[in-house]
Amino acid sequence: MKLENFIRGILRKKGLIPFSAFMSLALYHEKWGYYSKNPGTEDYYTNVDVHPIFSEILARFFAETLKKNFAGESVSIVELGPGPGKLAGNILSWIEQNETELFQRLKYVAVEKSAARKSAILEKAKKFQGRLTAQNNLPASVTGVIFSNEFFDALPFERVRMKGGKLKEIWVDENFSEVEQDAREPILKFFEWLGEYPQEGCEAEVPWSSKEWMTKIGRCLRKGIVLTIDYGYEARELFSELRPSGTALCHFRHSTNRDFYQNIGEQDITAHANFSVLIKEGEKWGLSSEKLVSQSRFVLDHGFEDAVRSLEQTQDIKMRLKLSSAIKTLVHPEGMGGTFKALLQKKA
């Protein structure tokens, strides 16, 4: 309620605000925003929560990449939006136990905006001899890996509708009602740049922040790879007539809704990642797209079977059941394996 009243106050003063401004406040207000609360209260369940096997596959993949391309050099793994740092802790532990030489020349930088999540990361950092740090922004220069799991879907976006061949933007008024306005010049330029448009009568999201983050990534990566894991599509598929309302959605207590103005600060607001934006902006900064594949394909190509075999040796029946359920969720095309994708970009 406090956040709702705070936003109402802003709306009264300003009259109207763009949807992205409302979303930034609802998710990232520093005291009451959804992501500012203590970790553990989330309504989302990511790959990281399914089973540690997901972290192990990433750890193996990063270790192989770093050893092959940067033998003997100081290198970094930078994770965007790590939340409380579960994946960071798992990946570093695996490297510490299995790749001691690499561990000694590795820095793991967690780029996290939420103060509550950052303190959870710093708590985990205590056991990694200064190898794990947390900060708000990307380092000035990175050699190695920049990656994220469900980061881009959590960034604020604008919403637009195509009406009579013209793009209309959705703004929010003081009654939390949506008001259509002619799209501003930068939005028109964005679609011109992308080269794809929503279909007549359909809604779509404008992921400005994703483009901005890709610019920052492209600028700071000297040499190495960028791995993005998220649910999403390329623009043409995203804007197909199968999605007339776009993909913007709220998650509240493990169910979904499209009432963005209820449970303000208590519910998550997300949209599918637009991989075309990441690919196109990446290219501008010398990042070539190596592959965009389903998460199933990615984990199967990167040691999933080896990791399962080593875990299967356990005699503990509960652990075996957990593993078999994780395999279904992470790999099955109808589970996260099918809806999630992995985009791998490279700067040589």
Ligand X SMILES: C[S@@+](CC[C@H](N)C(=O)[O-])C[C@H]1O[C@@H](n2cnc3c(N)ncnc32)[C@H](O)[C@@H]1O
Pick the binder of ligand X from 18, 52, 81, 89 (CB under 6 A): 81
Q: Which is nearer to ligand X, 135 or 199 (CB)?
A: 135
Out of 11, 48, 269, 277, which residue is the one contacting ligand X (CB under 6 A)?
48
Q: How far is the CB of 117 from ligand X (least distance, A)?
A: 5
The one among 6, 37, 43, 46 contacting ligand X by CB under 6 A: 46
Map residues 4-43 to x or -, x wherever contact with ligand X holds by CB under 6 A: -------------------------------x--------
Residues 241-270 that bind ligand X (CB under 6 A): none
Strands (E), the chain: 16-18, 75-80, 106-111, 132-135, 142-149, 158-163, 166-173, 178-182, 203-206, 221-233, 249-252, 255-257, 268-270, 273-274, 288-294, 340-347
Determine if 118 is a binding residue for ligand X (CB under 6 A). Answer: no
Query: In which residue are the tokens 């359920």 written?
Result: 325
Taking the least distance from each CB to ligand X, the nearer of 45 and 74 is 45
CA atoms of 273 and 340, how far apart (whole Å): 10
Regarding 149 and contact with ligand X (CB under 6 A), the answer is: yes
Residue from 52, 82, 282, 337 touching ligand X (CB under 6 A): that is 82
Nearer to ligand X by Cβ, of 56 and 150: the residue is 150
3-state secondary structure of 150: coil
Q: Cβ(11)–Cβ(19) under 8 Å?
A: no
State which amino acid sits at residue 165. G
**Does residue 113 bind ligand X (CB under 6 A)?**
yes
* Per rule CB under 6 A, count of chain residues that contact ligand X: 17
Q: Which stretch binds ligand X (CB under 6 A): 106-114, 189-197, 198-206, 316-324?
A: 106-114
CA distance 218 to 105: 23
Of 81-89, 99-107, 274-282, 303-311: span binding ligand X (CB under 6 A): 81-89
Of these, 99, 150, 169, 266, which contacts ligand X (CB under 6 A)?
150
Positions in 202-241 near ligand X (CB under 6 A): none
Integer Cα distance of 312 and 325 in angstroms: 13
Q: Which is nearer to ligand X, 198 or 282 (CB)?
A: 282
Q: Considering only residues 65, 76, 114, 296, which one is a binding residue for ligand X as defined by CB under 6 A?
A: 114
For ligand X, what does the binding mask look like between residues 312 and 331, x meaning CB under 6 A? --------------------
Mind giving me the DSSP string for 104-142? HTEEEEEE---HHHHHHHHHHHGGGTT-EEEESS--S-E
- What's at 47, amino acid-wise? N
SS3 content of the chain, % helix, strand, coil (to 5): 45, 25, 30
Can you tell me which residue has the tokens 């791995």?
227
Q: Which is nearer to ligand X, 147 or 191 (CB)?
A: 147
SS3 210: helix
Euclidean distance between CA atoms 188 and 166, whole angstroms: 10
Give the list of residues 6+ apart from residue 286 with CB closer than 8 angstroms, or none: 218, 347
Question: Where does this chain bind ligand X (CB under 6 A)?
Answer: 35, 44, 46, 48, 81-83, 111-114, 117, 149-151, 154-155
